[in-house]
Amino acid sequence: MDKPARPLWITLQNKALAHGIAALSEQELLQLIGAPQRAALAFPDAVSSPDALRALKQSAIGEFSRHYRIGIGTACRLAASLELGTRYWSQPLQPGQALNDPQQVRHWLRTELRDRQREIFGCLFLDARHRLIRYEELFAGGLDGAEVHPRIVVQQALRHQAAAVLLVHNHPSGHPEPSAADHALTVRLKQALALIDIRVLDHFIVAGNTVTSFAERGWL
């Protein structure tokens, strides 16, 4: 007698366990999410916390399953849902795209930078109509800061023939408020770029799910 074929969702679950959830295609993620369930899914309260969901993105599914005492299948479905959402929001901003929607920029920056383990400083270089020319991560540091050189920022802005710049960096500590050093750096960069007629439109700080805007606070 022929051996019954293994259900597709089990094959996908094994692939996720062996290679990580990121190895699955969008179609495979949807198929895994739609796998048959024997009962309604029940999650411990701790699983719904942002720290737990961030841990699932950063750790192995099996390790997450054991730590939070949920089934492998449930952990795989949860990981697949998170991965699909991450891919949706992390679609790269396209050169020539007008950045007129602050919420769109915030969503993208949050997805791009919130889970970084060290501080990153970058710039979105824009043309005179605020269309994206290029996004570049220029400096990387440790948990508490990154050394930023205004000269390099000016050089890159000139190289891309930018008319305006959006500054961005993350706080791996999760604290969303700008430090005194952040304020001082913003002033220095604004002054340096003004000398070559390039405007600083905003400075965003990404800390977990919070994105702080200097422009919205009236600091620019």
Say what the pLDDT of residue 83 is. 79
Domain boundaries, the chain: 8-89, 102-213
Say what the pLDDT of residue 3 is. 57
Say what the pLDDT of residue 42 is. 56
Q: In the sheet where 120-126 sits, what is the strand order?
A: 132-140, 120-126, 164-170, 199-207, 210-213
Mean pLDDT of 93-97: 76
**Predicted confidence (pLDDT) at residue 149 exceeds the cutoff of 90:** yes
Q: pLDDT higher for 207 or 66?
A: 207
Say what the pLDDT of residue 50 is. 62
**Predicted confidence (pLDDT) at residue 218 exceeds the cutoff of 80:** yes
Reported as a single tens digit per residue, the pLDDT across 35-71 is: 766 555 555 666 656 666 666 765 678 887 787 777 8
Single-letter amino acid, residue 107: H
Q: Which fold has domain 102-213?
A: Cytidine Deaminase; domain 2 (3.40.140)
